[in-house]
Structure 1
Amino acid sequence: MGREFRIGTRKSRLALRQTELICNALRERFPNVTITPRPIVTQGDRDLHSSLQTIGGKGVFVKEIERELLDGTIDFAAHSLKDVQPVLPDGLVLGCFPKRDSPFDCLISPRPYADLDDLPQGARIGTNSLRRQAQLLHRRPDLEIVPIRGNIDSRLRKIETERLDGVILAEAGLNRLYPETGDGHPELGGLYRVSLRGVLLPAAGQGAMVVECRADDMQTLELLAAFDDPATRDAVLTEREFMTALGGSCTFPIGAFAQTDDEDGLVFHGLVASPDGTHLFTCNETGTIDDHVGASAASALIDQGVLPLIDPVNSVHPLNSVNSAVPAASR
């Protein structure tokens, strides 16, 4: 297999770092193969001011890249899985799920807070995620949520420029950019970091990278198969199944986390909420990948009455008939 493969990626520092990790693994396994990264500017990278909800959701980070895949300009593309829409364009497949990094969120702050409950009354917290916002306000209604967008470095700078008490970031991105950092580390500008595992349910696919390619490109699929992690694949496909069943995107708060378990097979936690956190529903399901645990969890939440949260315009049930539920801990 001595051909050249062109890999598409966003131009952000995190995306380039993730692509570098994939390229290095491929080169080590297949030394006769040439891997050439091709950075691509996406709509989500160009528009850093509008909310994701108004410019098309998470798909704005991958559409241009997928177009080049279909045109044959690139052979495969590296994505953060949470940026990939639940339904792919015709002719494309997810060819490889490398081993997942941490799926959880963390709080980055200028002071060493022990946890969310340690934040001062009325603390200003930066995030552009409705999922994070809803769970934060459900736990701490006094918090002021400040919408922020941009790459990791720009969001960290906004702690000072926007006078924030903290920002919520994905642990995986920090781990990839700052693999050796700890509390108060100089590379993080002396900022402090506390994990929110068990506090905030993550986004579907968070912490996972994925490689997308053309469905009929057998040579590329063969190359990528060597780096597929079955446990990661089963977990994140279950999370995406849950999102698909609920018509999920980033236009309403939705969380999903699955992990493999020797005793139960797959253990899944799902969440749907209102943006202000006053209504929050959770579910827990176990089973195997063949049991369609994600779809079952979605059905369970629909039975609980989440449709007014998902589609308030067309739902026949008024929102005030929905009862709040206690969030599930992500184990």
Structure 2
Amino acid sequence: MIKSKDVLTLDEVDKKELVQILDLAIKLKKDLKKGISKPLLKNKTLAMIFQKPSTRTRISFEAGMFQLGGHALNLSSQELQLSRGETVEDTAKTISRYADVIMARVYEHSTVEALAKNSKVPVINGLSNSFHPCQILADLMTIKEKKGKLKGLKLAWIGDGNNVCNSMIYGCAKAEISISIATPKGFEPSPKVIQNCKKLIDIELTQDPQKAVLNSDVVVTDTFVSIHDDPKRLKKFYPKYQVNSSLMAKANESAIFMHCLPAKRGQEVTASVIDGSQSVVWDEAENRLHSQKALLASLSI
């Protein structure tokens, strides 16, 4: 069980709990392949609040609750009284009287913090502008599957020091994976996150992607532009921070490539990499299902 009521950044999960979640996720995946699905959350309800569009988050949580014997409610913010001025605080107090756990995919991280503060039940951050802990659980699960271990590996993050990167730093710190982060100037990850983790693992910040990927076991990137194309922003990243075959060649020969998706081929990554032999993005996407099932089962629901 996780000691923390909520999972908003991934910092709430300690090293031992992380290992337990990942081991359970791998077991649940194997069981599902064998046709075994235990009703660990029988008669439990997950309320899913979406301010932002979603493919992987919605489907994986909804399918996961079904497979665990529970039920998921898909709640667009436009369908809730939030759209008519009800406060986040009042929404949290109300929904937590009906559901056993809340997952929210929001814009501002302060929104999910307010939900957690006012909810009687656990709150999971399904993505905010600052953190994406569920993605990192899937990423670490995938790395463990492919590499057989976590501790002692090196991960290279190329591109934007965004919400996924922030949670990745926390995840690497708990898993004892060193991380090298290459971003344009002004696009570095949260200084607070770096400060919290730099005593636990080696963290390198650089503006040189080629330096970052040297001796790396895992190469990770994300979209340069999340929602709308911004030519001014794109110019800061492309083509220097694009993960292409030339850049991957500077990583370890056995290095794997990861991307949380959706991807824009020809921008942050070339088709030759994301569709190539080193790419594990589809396993990574599938593992959202299994790692989130493990997370749900590990909460005090």
Larger Rg: 1
Question: Normalising by structure 1, what TM-score?
Answer: 0.28
- Greater share of helix residues, 1 or 2? 2
